Each structure stands twice: as C-alpha cells, then as structure tokens.
Amino acid sequence: GYHNFNFYDYVVAPEYQNSLVKMFGYSRGCAEAHRCDKAAALEDGQGRVGRDRRTSACTMANQCHGYRNATTLDERHLETANRILARFRFVGLQEAYNSSVLLLARTFDMEDRLQVSDFAKVRHTPAEEIRNCKGYRRRAVGSDAVVCREVMRANHLDVQLYEMIHRNFCRRLELYGLRGHPMVERELTAGSLCSTLDFS
C-alpha cells in the first residue's frame, strides 16, 4: 500500500544517497544509457554521421536519473565526478550564494552587468510543507547528532565530493582576487568555508 515517507526513510533509501556522485561520476551507469551506448557503437560501425544518427541526443544527454539505486558506487566514481567537475570554468556553492555570484561574474567578465537583484537569495518554505514534515525540521541534520552521522554515513561519497568542490571553490576565489571582499568574507565566516574545517 501507500507509505508516507519521512526524512529518516529518505536517509536510508539508496535512491537518495550520493546523488552528486551518481550524476557526475556515474551518469552512464543505468540500463537506458547502456542501451544508448550500445546503439551508438553500432551506428559508429555503420559509419553513420549527422542526421543519419538516431543516438545523437541520448549520447549527449545524461540518461540516468540522479535518484536511482546505485549501491555499486565507489572511490572510482568519486574520482570521475571530481575530474569532470574540475573541467567546469565555474562551480558555485549554495552556502556561499553571494560569493558564487561574484565569482561567476568575474570568471566570465560580467561584473559590469551585476545588479542588486542578482544577490537576492529567496528560499521560501510554505507553512503547509512544514506541517507535512511529520515532526522533521531540516535543521535536525545540524542539531541532531544521530541524524547528522546517519546522513554523513549514507552519503559518504557525496560528502567527500563536496569537500573537493568546496576547496576548488576557495582556490578560485583566491585566484580571481575575491578573498578580502567584505561580502565574500562575511559569507565564508558564517558558513565556516575556506577554513580549517574539513566537511568530509
């Protein structure tokens, strides 16, 4: 029958674990992607190009949903995800939203186009959603040691990837001369970012 899942159910569900590593380090690891890759190899063998190919879209797109059971993930997938993300010219952090906006603008030489509204961070949670959380509050991850440890254990690869992304973000802030900017320093201090704290 129908089951109302609460936060604790999601923590232990493999479909919701290590989603970042699944998306960036194992994006071709599902049956749909395997079928596409097999068909693409066949088309390669036939010499098909351009409009003659039927697999152009599926080979370019991420065929595998991030929320899928992938209990076979390991350190190799973590390394792949980190390597792929390192190729991006810009990766920001939600926890450092304003710093990310500044870094984005400086990376792509768009600082003259920035407006005050670019720094508006709106995260609205309707009262109804809060009531339907069955007693769970998002802050429980930060205030309940048992929940926090379980989340960290269940998502150990994502936690390591976050630390890698976080350190790369800090290096780029330094590289683009944004360390020392009042808005950046305020945000980094508030989130214990770019400090000695290791999130992994």
Question: Does the pLDDT at position 39 exceed 90?
Answer: no
- Give every CB contact of residue 140 below 8 A, 6+ residues apart in sequence: 7, 147
pTM of the model: 0.77
**pLDDT attached to residue 103:** 98
Cβ contact 64:32 at 8 Å: yes
The predicted pLDDT at position 60 comes to 66
Using 50, 70 and 90 to split pLDDT, how confident is the model at 196? very high
Per the prediction, the chain carries an average pLDDT of 84
- Residues 150, 147: Cα–Cα separation, whole Å: 5
User: What is residue 80's predicted lDDT score, i.e. its pLDDT?
Assistant: 92
At residue 126, the pLDDT reads: 57
Question: Which H, E and C letters describe 45-108, residue by residue?
Answer: HHCCCHHHCCCHHHHHCCCCCCCCCCCCCCHHHHHHHHHHHHCCCCCCCHHHHHHHHHHHHHHC
pLDDT bucket at 124, cuts 50 / 70 / 90: low
pLDDT for the residue numbered 199: 84
pLDDT at 135: 47
pLDDT at 176 over 90: yes
**125 vs 13 pLDDT, higher one:** 13
pLDDT value for 31: 81
pLDDT of 48 above 60: yes
Backbone φ, ψ for residue 117 (5° rounding): -65, -20
Q: How far apart are CA 28 and CA 36, in angstroms?
A: 9
Q: Which two tokens stand for residue 97?
A: 């939203």
> What values do phi and psi take at 99, rounded to 5?
-65, -35
